[in-house]
Amino acid sequence: MKKVALHNLGCRVNEYETEEMARALASRGFKIVPFDAAADVYIVNTCTVTNIADRKSRQMLRRARKTNPDALVVAVGCYVDTHKDIGGEEGLIDAAFPNAEKARIAEHIESLLAFEGGDGVCGPEEDYLAGLEHTRSCLKIEDGCNEFCSYCIIPYARGRVTSKPLGAILEEAREMAAKGHREIVLTGIHLSAYGTDRKDAGDEPLFEVVRRIAEIPGIDRIRFGSLEPRIMTEKMLSSLRTIPQVCPQFHLSLQSGSDSVLRRMNRHYTADDYRRIVQRIRAFYPGAAVTTDIIAGFPGETEKEFAETEQFIREMKFAKTHIFRYSKREGTAAARMDGQIPEREKEKRSALLIEAGKEGERTYLAGFCGRTAEVLFEEKVNTREGSMWQGHTMENVSVRVRSEEELSGRLLRCRITAAEDELLYGCVEGEG
C-alpha cells in the first residue's frame, strides 16, 4: 500500500481542500500518514497570500524531499498558480498542479506512480481516514474572488467567483452530519459572494444555504468563515437571527481604520461604515464575537493613518484581532505604489497594533466569567495542571474543564470561572 502524506498551508479553504484530497486518495487505496513520517508521496497544499507564505511553501517542499529523497514530492495550490517557474529549482519537486486540478489529484498521483514504474495501490484499509474526523468540519461552498483589493494576489491565483450548487452543498453537509460532525464552518475565498454567479441563486443565496443546512438532523452549529462587512445588512441579520444554529461569531476583515488607506486598498467601505455594521451585529447578537484582520504598514501609510487604525482597534474592542505586516506581492497594484514602508517600521507598527488588539480580547474574555456557555468538546489536552477537556463556545472561544467522563463530541453547558491567555476555564454544570 502506497503511503501519502499531506501538509496544508493557508486558509480554511485550503484546509477543506486538503481533507478532500486525502479522502479521494484514501478511497483509491492510498494510506494517509503524518507529514513527518516516511511516505511514498508528499503533497503540499501551498499558499501565496504573503511572502512568508511563499517561503513556508518552499520550506515544506524541501522538508518532504529531505524526509525521503526517493519519494514523489508534489506541490498544489495558490503558489503553483502564481509561480509558473516553481519547477525551476533543481530537485525541489517532481510535479506541480494548480488549484483547478485539486479535484483530480488522486488520478494525477496514480498516473505519476505508474509512469515511474510503481506497483500501484491496493484496497483501502478500514482506518484510512483515522485522524481526519472531528466534531466540526469546514464546508467549502465558493471559490474565487472578483474584488481585486490592491494588495491581494488571490484573485489571480483562484480566478473569478464560482459557487457550488446548493444540492451538492446539502449532500456534503448530510455526509458530515452522518459522521458525527456537529458543527459546520462555511468557507470560501470570498464567501459573501456566494451565489452572485448563479442566476438561480435567489435574493439571499448565502442565507438560503444556512437555512437548508440547519434543517439537517445532527447539525447543531453553523459558523461562517471570513465575511465581507457589507453583507451584514439589517435584512441579513434579521434572517440569520431566526436560525438558532448560527454561531454568533462574525469575522469581518477590516484591514485598516483609515479611510484614505482603505481607498488605496480598494476596499469598498469607510471606517464609519464598518463601525455601523459592527454596531448592527451587536444589536442583533449581544455578546457576539466580532473578529477581524488588519494590515500594518500598507504602502504610503502615514503616522496619522496608522494612528487612526490603532485608535479604531481600541474603540471597537474586537474579540480577536489578527495583525499582518504588509507583504509586497508582485503583480498587484499595491506593489507598484510609492511609499513602501521599511520592514523595521512595519514590525514596530505591527507590535503596537497587536497590543491594541489584546486589550479588546482581554475585555471580551473577561465578560464570560461568572456566566454559563454552551461548549462543544473536542479533545483531551495535557497541561501543567494535568489533563483537561477542551472545546469551544458558540463564539469560538476555547474552554477547558476537568471531568472524569468522556466528553469528546458532547455539547454541554459549562460555568466559566476564569479567563487566561486566550482561554476560558470552568466546569461542566452539575460537576463543579
- The answer to whether position 232 is within a domain reads yes
- The answer to whether position 121 is within a domain reads no
Q: Are residues 164 and 310 in the same domain?
A: yes
Please give the Cα distance from 29 to 312 (Å, whole number): 53
pLDDT at 128 over 70: no
Which pLDDT score, from 0 to 100, does residue 174 have? 96
pLDDT band at 308; cut points 50, 70, 90: very high
pLDDT band at 285; cut points 50, 70, 90: very high
Give the residue-averaged pLDDT of 149-163.
91
Which pLDDT score, from 0 to 100, does residue 268 have? 95
Contact call for residues 299 and 338 (beta carbons, < 8 A): yes
Average pLDDT, the chain: 90
Q: Are residues 19 and 148 in the same domain?
A: no
pLDDT at 157 over 90: no
Q: Check which CATH number belongs to the domain holding 422 and give it.
A: 2.40.50
Which pLDDT score, from 0 to 100, does residue 432 have? 54
- The answer to whether position 393 is within a domain reads yes
Q: Check which CATH number belongs to the domain holding 12 and give it.
A: 3.40.50.12160
- The answer for residues whose C-beta is within 8 angstroms of residue 113's C-beta and 6 or more apart is 2, 40, 41, 72, 120, 121
Which pLDDT score, from 0 to 100, does residue 430 have? 76
Domain that holds residue 402: 372-428
380-408 pLDDT, tens per residue?
888 887 899 999 999 999 999 999 899 99
More confident residue, 64 or 132: 64
Q: Say whether 297 sits in a helix, a strand or coil.
A: coil
- The answer to whether position 131 is within a domain reads no
Q: Are residues 354 and 380 in the same domain?
A: no
Q: Are residues 192 and 269 in the same domain?
A: yes
Residue 201: DSSP 8-state? S
Q: What residue type is assigned to position 64 of the chain?
A: A
Q: Are residues 349 and 408 in the same domain?
A: no
pLDDT at 125 over 70: no
- Which residue among 318, 336, 366 closes a domain? 366
Q: Are residues 61 and 164 in the same domain?
A: no
Which pLDDT score, from 0 to 100, does residue 91 have? 65
The number of folded domains in the chain is 3
Q: Are residues 24 and 161 in the same domain?
A: no
More confident residue, 51 or 302: 302
- Please provide the distance, in angstroms rounded to a whole number, between the alpha carbons at the two ends of the chain: 49
Give the residue-averaged pLDDT of 35-46.
93
Cα 119-123-128 angle, rounded to 5 deg: 110
Q: Are residues 377 and 357 in the same domain?
A: no
Please give the Cα distance from 110 to 405 (Å, whole number): 44
Q: Are residues 142 and 85 in the same domain?
A: no
- The answer to whether position 258 is within a domain reads yes
pLDDT at 248 over 80: yes
- Residue carrying the nine cell digits 456557555: 373
Which pLDDT score, from 0 to 100, does residue 116 have? 45
Which pLDDT score, from 0 to 100, does residue 89 have? 57
Q: Are residues 215 and 78 in the same domain?
A: no
Please give the Cα distance from 386 to 236 (Å, whole number): 44
Which pLDDT score, from 0 to 100, does residue 88 have? 55
Please give the Cα distance from 244 to 211 (Å, whole number): 10
Q: Are residues 337 and 400 in the same domain?
A: no
**Strand residue runs (E) in 297-410:** 320-325, 372-383, 386-393, 398-401
- Which residue among 51, 85, 115 closes a domain? 115
Backbone angles phi, psi at 106, to 5 degrees: -65, -40
- The answer to whether position 126 is within a domain reads no
- The answer to whether position 416 is within a domain reads yes
- Which residue among 321, 350, 366 closes a domain? 366
Compute the residue count for the chain: 432
Q: What is the dihedral sign for C-alpha 329, 61, 126, 407? A: negative
pLDDT band at 329; cut points 50, 70, 90: confident
pLDDT band at 220; cut points 50, 70, 90: very high
Which pLDDT score, from 0 to 100, does residue 354 have? 95
Please give the Cα distance from 89 to 8 (Å, whole number): 21
Helix, strand, coil share (%) of the chain residues, nearest 5 = 35, 25, 40
If phi > 0 it is left, if psi is from -120 to 50 it is alpha, else beta; for residue 331 that is: left
Q: Check which CATH number belongs to the domain holding 229 and give it.
A: 3.80.30.20
Query: Does this model's pTM top 0.85?
Result: no
Which pLDDT score, from 0 to 100, does residue 276 have? 98
- The answer to whether position 8 is within a domain reads yes
Per the structure block, which three cell numbers stand in for 273? 461604515
Q: Are residues 271 and 377 in the same domain?
A: no
